[in-house]
């Protein structure tokens, strides 16, 4: 067993985290109707969402803006100091301005608050003090609790944690109201491990002339020509209505060739697998791979919406593996 001394860094870390946890519990209890008003203002903003703060609050503003942008509420952050030297010009009347400050009394914020009020720019204030300029000047007031800080009781730690938390809460609440889904999220995160997890079959499938289509009334001689040309080891058979009628693999053809001399007398409609498995174009690639493994197949037809009989793409196992989908 490890004996901890009174000044042990582990004890200090635990104390800091305890203060943060207590602060977050207070924040949870403090959320009122103004939070809902703020969310509605975010999702109805006709122009830009701009976040701004001073010092540590400015860094928090930048992170919240990044989170909002990644979940369907385009936003960016401005430096309060830069605003005082010309960047106020980037804020217009249709914008939504979110100012973050623990005290709400920072001198750098006062001209920004006056600018917003004078130009009737909707202002959301995230602040801990009711008697502050930010609280009084905000159209929507999110009053967060006054909390104990770590590090001599003055280092911004607990206060910045609740600022970040309320910002994340606003972003996710807006996401839910906007019905922003995994498919939308994937379009904004094309790279890295997250991008791989969120790729859809539509991102990887072959389409149009690349799809190995053939009419179901064709014979296997014709089938061999198409399957050789398309190089996917599979054929999608269509009926007279242009609907997907079945699927035929090179493995199927090899077995038939072994037992049949005249392939011109064997028709695709008689040997194809009817009603092939098809997935929606918004299906995640990782899910498509799981289906392939479970069904022990190499290819899936891809459709859009409820039009299962209308194949608009084909996703092959190689497409998934080449994209490092696991």
Domain ranges within the chain, ordered by starting residue? 9-180, 201-322
CATH superfamily of 9-180: Glucose-6-phosphate isomerase like protein; domain 1 (3.40.50.10490)
pLDDT score, position 326: 79
Distances (CA, A) of 76 to 23, 56, 134: 27, 16, 20
| Pairing, β 234-238 against β 213-215 | parallel
Residue 198 to residue 261: CA distance in whole angstroms:
47
| 56-91 tens-digit pLDDT | 999 999 999 999 998 999 999 999 988 989 999 999
pLDDT score, position 6: 57
- In this chain, the answer to whether the domains covering 9-180 and 201-322 adopt an identical fold is no
- Helix (H) or strand (E) holding 160, with range, is helix 158-177
Helix, strand or coil, per DSSP, at residue 281: coil
Residue 3 to residue 203: CA distance in whole angstroms:
55
The reported pTM is 0.70
Angle at 33 between CA 72 and CA 97, to 5 degrees: 45
Find residue 124's DSSP bridge partners: 98, 140
Which CATH code fits 201-322?
A: 3.10.580.10
pLDDT score, position 164: 98
Residue 51 to residue 63: CA distance in whole angstroms:
10
pLDDT < 50: residue spans in the chain? 1-4
pLDDT score, position 7: 65
Chain center to CA of 170: 15
Find residue 140's DSSP bridge partners: 124
- Whether 142 and 166 have beta carbons less than 8 Å apart is answered as yes
Q: 73-85 in b/e burial notation, b at 16+ Cβ within 10 A?
A: bebbbbbbeebbe
Residue corresponding to tokens 């004078």: 118
pLDDT score, position 198: 81
């Amino acid at each position: 067993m490890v004996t901890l001394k009174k000044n042990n860094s582990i004890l200090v870390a635990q104390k800091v985290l305890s203060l943060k946890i207590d602060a977050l519990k207070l924040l949870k209890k403090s959320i009122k109707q103004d939070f809902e008003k703020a969310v509605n203002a975010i999702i109805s903003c006709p122009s830009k969402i701009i976040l701004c703060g001073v010092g540590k609050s400015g860094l928090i503003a930048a992170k919240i803006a990044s989170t909002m942008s990644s979940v369907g509420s385009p936003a960016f952050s401005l430096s309060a100091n830069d605003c005082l030297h010309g960047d106020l010009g980037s804020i217009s009347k249709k914008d939504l301005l979110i100012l973050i400050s623990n005290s709400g009394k920072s001198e750098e914020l006062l001209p920004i608050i006056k600018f917003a009020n004078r130009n009737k720019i909707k202002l959301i204030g995230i602040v801990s003090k009711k008697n502050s300029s930010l609280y009084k000047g905000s159209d929507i007031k999110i009053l967060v609790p006054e909390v104990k800080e770590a590090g001599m009781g003055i280092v911004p730690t607990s206060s910045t944690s609740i600022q970040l938390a309320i910002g994340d809460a606003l972003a996710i609440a807006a996401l839910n109201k906007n019905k922003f889904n995994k498919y939308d999220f994937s379009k904004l995160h094309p790279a890295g491990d997250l991008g791989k997890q969120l790729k859809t079959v539509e991102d990887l499938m072959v389409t149009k002339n690349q799809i190995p289509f053939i009419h179901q009334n064709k014979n296997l001689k014709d089938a061999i020509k198409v399957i050789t040309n398309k190089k996917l080891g599979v054929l999608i058979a269509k009926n007279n209505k242009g609907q997907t009628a079945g699927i035929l693999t090179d493995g199927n053809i090899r077995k038939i060739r072994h037992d049949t001399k005249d392939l011109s007398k064997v028709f695709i409609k008689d040997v194809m697998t009817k009603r092939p498995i098809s997935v929606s174009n918004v299906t995640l690639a990782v899910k498509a791979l799981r289906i392939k493994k479970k069904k022990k197949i190499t290819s899936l037809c891809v459709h859009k919406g409820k039009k299962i009989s209308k194949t608009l793409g084909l996703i092959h196992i190689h497409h998934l593996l080449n994209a490092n989908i696991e």
